[in-house]
């Protein structure tokens, strides 16, 4: 479904070039959930944004749904994939109601039956009709993230890109959102890429996981192997150990 | 009934888009009303508008330009509440009609300045690159003109009058708006909710007008309201110099100017329009501060 | 254990608002010895407010009441603002989540830490510098001489947090509150910072209140844990027995967190019971 080959991203910062992503390659099969895990500065979110086409990148191949993804995406190409951002407080327009926010993609793509589609999308993500005309500031963090997911899925894209969708949420809300994502993934047979710093979250939701460090993919492992620690790289082991909590013993 | 309406407006779960929009506006209005300074500003501006609309009625049929040399420079009395000027015209009627001139200038300037500043600023901020560079350098050039001197030059070249005063004020007033709009746009354009609409395939125009401009609008309105005082003062200044509204039309600046010669003996001629300028400027300033508090997202 | 360092009985913190009074902390009672006490809860549970109340940092219009609030021999309820200023920094201290907001951006790290010494310990300039360098070394900063002359923005997140800890501990307080001290850090750095905190607490015999939303970290780092929900302490248990917790909220929280060790088809969600707040 998605093929990434030798993806590199370079930022220019006051005359210096910073190589945020260096030669990253992987494939995502249809219906698969692919995880990318790493610490801050590892380039994990940058990879996701490059695939989404919202930042410039270079690669020997970037294919989506069998077609090469152009640098400038057409409206139709945009419809193939949608994005869910990390911060539910920054990803919704502060002066638009939930209804406005969900209507917008439908209007852009000239889709009919707006009302019906919007109320279906609201029900789909577990919000009630009374949330429909609220402004983002009248919603909780979890409800906002549900709106963001509804907005991403209202165009029925085959691919969903998730950038730390639960890291700004409380554990109990995170559980609800992760359950919702699993449910939606099944009902719409979505292919998705999930970026997170939390090994527990990726292992829960993903089939395969790429571990990134300093702009490179260190290794790609199956979720089951990650759980039992069947990994080949020292860095991955370090991450696993760290995610199990604090160890008092001196290493 | 009114209880029901309030409940409907304040509902946390509006049932229609109209209710949501009205509810939001209602909360904004409440925020202004519960802020004493802003409420005072709002009242002053409302009184100004009412004065301008109902000037003839409020003046009780006294014409602002009718001269009566027999009773010139009469002090305030039951007949002439604010006295008369050097041509025997009723200052009360003239002050009321002066509100019309002031309001006209204020409205014309806003109509020109806000859209131009907003358009230049959001274009520059969102499109970036050379468009940004060119637009902002043009802005800098206009910002470098001294307002009153340019206005004087305009009046001298095109002849004095309200229209030319408005053109002169507008030409020098828009650049700060472009700057505000640009800096806001630069921040907004990077935010996730704009990226989200871009990802949905929205065109540049759609992103600009439907998503960015509404967010810049509030700070532009606040700035405009705060600037009103300055615009009124500039207009009055031009009037005072004889380059704004022309006689016999009643304009506060020109009225102050006319009273200048007699300020020690007949104080009311210059003072009454002076007080009007002062109160209206203060009103716009208070209202602007109040609006800033209401629009500031951090306050919620 | 000898007499506790800190005794709190029936602590209440409330904030009057437009829609009535918000009770951020309700009847919280606990003691702290020279140990690591964890306070866990979700946002709005009152865990940070509790920490702030202990440092006298609840500002108007918040109201703090308690039956007892003793720190050593001091009655915290009777403290005036100047008493608090004497206590804070010198005998009690706080490390916050993000060093970016707690360090002065226009002053060098060394100057900031040195000033704390001079203010609270009355050290001379030279003595302050020595203590600062020793402290920077104690928080495992590799070249203290260089970091001494850096500005906060020149440090990475982990380094900044270490500098912050150094600043808070240089006056050798008896009691430290760490409010999500590692939440802004990467997991691998997180553990290094925790280790530093752990060593310092043990070596200097301090009492530590560790506030966090992360059950895994708290249960592996602390000795005892308080679980807060809606301003109330709903459960208190030894950290190592957290998995045996009895309160339904604690159990639900544990089950809601996706873990590497347990594979679940669906994560448990928390069904909130209004009775928990009674």
- Sketch out chain A's domains with CATH numbers: 2-243 (3.40.50.300)
pLDDT (tens digit per residue) in A221-235:
999 999 998 899 999
Lowest mean per-residue pLDDT among B228-232, B296-300, C140-144: B296-300
Of B20, B199, B297, the CB nearest to A133: B20
**Residue B175 phi/psi, 5° resolution?**
-55, -40
A31–chain B nearest CA distance, Å: 21
Q: A64 — contact with chain C (CB < 8 Å)?
A: no
Share of chain A above pLDDT 90, in %: 63
Which of C190, C191, C213 comes nearest A171 by C-beta? C213
DSSP B207: I
Question: Do the beta carbons of residue B262 and residue B74 sit within 8 Å?
Answer: no
> What residues form DSSP beta bridges with A210?
A36, A220
Number of neighbours of residue C75 by Cβ within 10 angstroms: 11
Question: Which CATH entry fits the domain spanning B16-299: 1.10.10.10, 3.40.1690.10, 1.10.8.80, 1.10.3720.10?
Answer: 1.10.3720.10
- pLDDT for the residue B177: 93
The per-residue pLDDT for B32 is 82
Show which subunits contact B, needing at least 3 CB pairs below 8 angstroms: A
pLDDT at residue A27 in the model:
93
Which residues in chain A touch residue C239, judged by CB atoms under 8 angstroms apart? Answer: none
Residue C61, preceding peptide bond in cis (omega within 30° of 0): yes
- Reported as a pLDDT band with limits 50, 70 and 90, residue C172 is confident
Q: Quote the crossing angle between the two packed helices A98-108 and B192-199, to the nearest 10°.
A: 30
Check pLDDT > 70 for residue B298: no
Residue in chain C nearest A173 by alpha carbon: C269
**DSSP H helices in chain C:** 47-54, 81-87, 99-102, 109-121, 125-138, 144-148, 157-169, 187-204, 215-221, 248-256
Closest residue of chain B to A77, computed from CA coordinates? B201
What CA–CA distance (Å, rounded) separates B106 from B114?
A: 12
Contacts of A48 in chain B (CB under 8 A): none
The residue-averaged pLDDT of B25-48 equals 87
Instruction: Please state the length of chain B.
Output: 300
Element (H, E) at B185: helix B162-189
Residues in chain A: 251
Query: What residue in A sits closest to B211 (Cα-Cα)?
Result: A93
Of B17, B195, B215, nearest to A97 by CB-CB distance is B17
How many contacts (CB atoms, under 8 Å) link A and B?
81
Q: What percent of chain A has pLDDT over 70?
A: 98
The whole-chain average pLDDT of chain C stands at 87
Residue C200 has pLDDT above 50, yes or no: yes
pLDDT band at B134 (very low <50, low <70, confident <90, very high): very high
Nearest Cα residue to C277 out of C32, C20, C46: C46
C-alpha distances in Å from residue B69, one per residue of B79, B84, B89, B95, C216: 15, 10, 8, 19, 93
Q: At what angle do helices A98-108 and B17-33 cross, to 10 degrees?
A: 130
Q: Which of A133, A150, A155 is the best substitution to test chain B (most B C-beta atoms within 10 A)?
A: A133
Contact call for residues A147 and A98 (beta carbons, < 8 A): yes
Q: Which of B13, B200, B300 sits opposite A108 (nearest CB)?
A: B200
Q: Is pLDDT of B297 > 70?
A: no
**Contact between A243 and C216 using a beta-carbon 8 Å cutoff:** yes
Of B13 and C84, more confident: C84
- For the segment B215-254, what is each residue's pLDDT rounded down to a tens digit? 998 888 888 888 888 888 888 888 888 777 777 788 888 8
**What's the rounded Cα separation, in Å, for the pair A50 and A176?**
28
The encoded tokens of residue C114 equal 């040195």
Closest alpha carbon within chain A to C250: A172
Confidence class of residue A251 from pLDDT cuts 50, 70 and 90? very low
Query: Residue B102 in contact with residue B166, Cβ under 8 Å?
Result: no
| Residues B31, B34: Cα–Cα separation, whole Å | 5
What is d(CA A178, CA A172) in angstroms, rounded to the nearest whole number? 10
Can you give the pLDDT at residue A250?
52
Q: Say what the pLDDT of residue A73 is.
A: 82
Contact residues on chain A for B197, CB-CB shorter than 8 A: 104-105, 108
Q: Which residues of C touch A243 (CB under 8 A)?
A: 187, 216, 260
Chains A and B, touching by 3 or more CB pairs within 8 angstroms:
yes
Band of the pLDDT at A118, cuts 50, 70, 90? very high
Q: Which two tokens stand for residue C202?
A: 């043990």
Q: pLDDT at position B24, please?
A: 80
Can you say whether the dihedral through the CA atoms of C239, C245, C248, C252 is positive or negative?
positive
Q: Where are the domains of chain B?
A: 16-299
Please give the pLDDT value at position C189: 81
Question: pLDDT, tens digit, for every residue of A101-115?
Answer: 999 999 999 998 999
Q: Does C32 have pLDDT greater than 80?
A: yes
Q: Is the dihedral of CA B185, B188, B193, B195 positive or negative?
A: positive
- The verdict on a CB contact (< 8 Å) between B13 and A131 is yes
CA distances from A117 to A76, A126, A130, A225 (A): 19, 15, 16, 41
What DSSP assignment string belongs to C44-113?
TSSHHHHHHHHTT-PPTT-EEE-SEEEETTEEGGG--HHHHHHHBTTTEEEE-S-HHHHS-TTS-HHHHH
| A242 closest CB neighbour out of C187, C264, C267 | C187
Supply the pLDDT for residue B74. 78
C188's CB contacts (< 8 A; 6+ apart) are A39, A238, A239, A242
Strand ranges for B154-218 from DSSP E: none
CA distance C118 to chain A (A): 34
Chain A: closest CA distance from residue B202 (Å)? 6
Given A93, A95, A105, which is nearest B200 (Cβ)? Answer: A105
- Does B299 score more than 50 pLDDT? no
Span C10-21, mean pLDDT? 87
Q: Which residues of B touch A (CB under 8 A)?
A: 12-17, 19-20, 24, 191-193, 195-202, 206, 210-211, 214-215, 297, 300
Shortest Cα distance, chain A CAs vs residue B218, angstroms: 11
Most confident among A188-197, B161-170, C258-267 (mean pLDDT): A188-197
Contact with chain A for residue C21, Cβ under 8 A: no
Report the gap between the CA of B118 and the closest CA in chain A (Å). 18
Q: Is the pLDDT of residue C98 over 80?
A: no
Subunits adjacent to chain A (3 or more Cβ pairs under 8 Å): B, C
Q: Please report the pLDDT score of residue B300 as a whole number.
A: 42
pLDDT at residue B296 in the model: 66
**Which residues does residue C177 pair with via DSSP β-bridges, in sequence order?**
C94, C209
Residues of chain B with Cβ-Cβ distance to A105 below 8 Å are 197, 200-201
Give the sign of the dihedral formed by CA B5, CA B10, CA B13, CA B18: positive
């Amino acid at each position: 479904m998605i093929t990434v080959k030798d993806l590199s991203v370079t930022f220019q910062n006051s005359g210096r070039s910073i190589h945020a992503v260096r030669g990253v390659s992987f494939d995502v099969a249809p219906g698969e959930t692919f995880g990318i895990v790493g610490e801050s500065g590892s380039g994990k979110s940058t990879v996701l944004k490059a695939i989404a086409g919202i930042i410039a990148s270079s690669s020997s191949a970037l294919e989506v749904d069998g077609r090469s993804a152009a640098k400038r995406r057409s409206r139709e190409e945009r419809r193939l994939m949608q994005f869910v951002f990390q911060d539910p407080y920054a990803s919704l327009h502060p002066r638009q109601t939930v209804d406005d926010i969900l209507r917008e993609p439908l209007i852009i793509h000239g889709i009919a039956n707006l009302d019906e589609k919007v109320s279906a999308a609201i029900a789909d993500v577990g919000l009630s009709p009374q949330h429909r005309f609220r402004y983002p500031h009248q919603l909780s963090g979890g409800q906002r993230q549900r709106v963001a997911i509804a907005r991403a899925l209202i165009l029925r894209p085959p691919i969903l890109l998730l950038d730390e969708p639960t890291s700004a949420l409380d554990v109990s809300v995170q559980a609800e959102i992760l359950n919702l994502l699993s449910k939606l993934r099944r009902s719409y047979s979505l292919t998705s890429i999930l970026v997170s710093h939390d090994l527990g979250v990726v292992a829960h939701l993903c089939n395969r996981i790429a571990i990134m460090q300093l702009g490179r993919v260190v290794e790609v492992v199956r979720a089951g192997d990650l759980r039992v620690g069947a990994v080949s790289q020292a860095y991955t082991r370090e991450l696993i150990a760290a995610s199990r909590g604090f160890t008092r013993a001196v290493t | 009934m009114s209880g029901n309406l309030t409940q409907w407006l304040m509902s946390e779960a509006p049932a229609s888009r109209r209710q949501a929009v009205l509810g939001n506006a209602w909360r904004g209005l409440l925020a202004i009303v519960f802020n004493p300074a802003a409420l005072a500003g709002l009242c002053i501006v409302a009184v100004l508008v009412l004065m301008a609309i109902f000037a003839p009625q409020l003046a009780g049929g006294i014409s602002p330009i009718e001269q009566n040399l027999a009773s010139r420079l009469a002090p305030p009395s039951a007949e002439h509440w604010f006295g008369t000027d050097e041509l025997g015209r009723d200052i009360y009627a003239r002050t009321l009609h002066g509100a019309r001139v002031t309001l006209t200038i204020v409205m014309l300037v806003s109509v020109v300045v806000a859209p131009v500043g907003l358009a230049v600023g959001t274009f520059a901020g969102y499109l970036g690159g050379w468009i940004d560079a060119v637009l902002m350098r043009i802005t800098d050039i206009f910002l470098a003109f001294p307002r009153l001197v340019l206005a004087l030059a305009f009046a001298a070249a095109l002849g004095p009058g309200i229209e030319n005063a408005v053109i002169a004020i507008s030409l020098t007033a828009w650049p700060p708006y472009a700057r505000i709009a640009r800096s806001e746009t630069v921040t907004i354009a990077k935010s996730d909710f704009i990226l989200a609409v871009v990802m949905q395939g929205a065109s540049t125009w759609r992103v600009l007008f439907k998503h960015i401009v509404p967010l810049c609008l509030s700070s532009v309105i606040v700035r405009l309201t705060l600037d009103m005082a300055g615009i009124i003062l500039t207009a009055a200044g031009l009037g005072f110099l004889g380059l704004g509204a022309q006689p016999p039309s009643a304009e506060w600046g020109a009225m102050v100017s006319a009273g200048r010669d007699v300020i020690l003996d007949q104080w009311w001629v210059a003072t009454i329009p002076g007080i009007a300028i002062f109160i209206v400027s203060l009103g716009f300033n208070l209202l602007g501060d109040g609006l800033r508090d209401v629009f500031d997202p951090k306050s919620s | 254990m000898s007499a506790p360092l800190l005794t709190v009985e029936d602590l209440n913190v409330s904030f009057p608002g437009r829609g009535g009074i918000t009770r951020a902390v309700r009847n919280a009672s606990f003691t702290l010895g020279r140990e690591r006490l964890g306070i866990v809860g979700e946002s709005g549970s009152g865990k940070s407010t509790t920490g702030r109340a202990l440092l006298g940092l609840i500002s108007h219009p918040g109201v703090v009441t308690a039956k007892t609030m003793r720190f050593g021999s001091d009655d915290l309820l009777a403290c005036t603002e100047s008493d608090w200023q004497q206590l804070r920094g010198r005998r009690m201290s706080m490390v916050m989540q993000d060093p970016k907001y707690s360090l002065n951006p226009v002053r060098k790290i060394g100057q900031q830490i040195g000033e704390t010494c001079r203010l609270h310990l009355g050290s001379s300039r030279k003595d302050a510098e020595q203590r600062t360098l020793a402290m920077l070394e104690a928080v495992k900063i590799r070249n203290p001489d260089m970091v001494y002359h850096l500005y906060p923005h020149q440090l990475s997140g982990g380094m900044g947090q270490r500098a912050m800890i150094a600043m808070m501990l240089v006056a050798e307080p008896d009691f430290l509150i760490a409010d999500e001290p590692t939440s802004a850090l990467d997991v691998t750095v997180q553990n290094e910072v925790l280790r530093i905190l752990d060593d310092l607490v043990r070596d200097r015999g301090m009492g530590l209140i560790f506030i966090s939303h992360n059950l895994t970290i708290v249960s592996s780092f602390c000795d005892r844990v308080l679980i807060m929900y809606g301003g109330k302490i709903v459960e208190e248990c030894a950290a190592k027995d957290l998995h045996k917790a009895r309160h339904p909220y604690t159990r639900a929280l544990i089950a809601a967190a996706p873990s590497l060790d347990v594979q679940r088809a669906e994560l448990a969600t928390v069904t909130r019971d209004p009775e928990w707040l009674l």
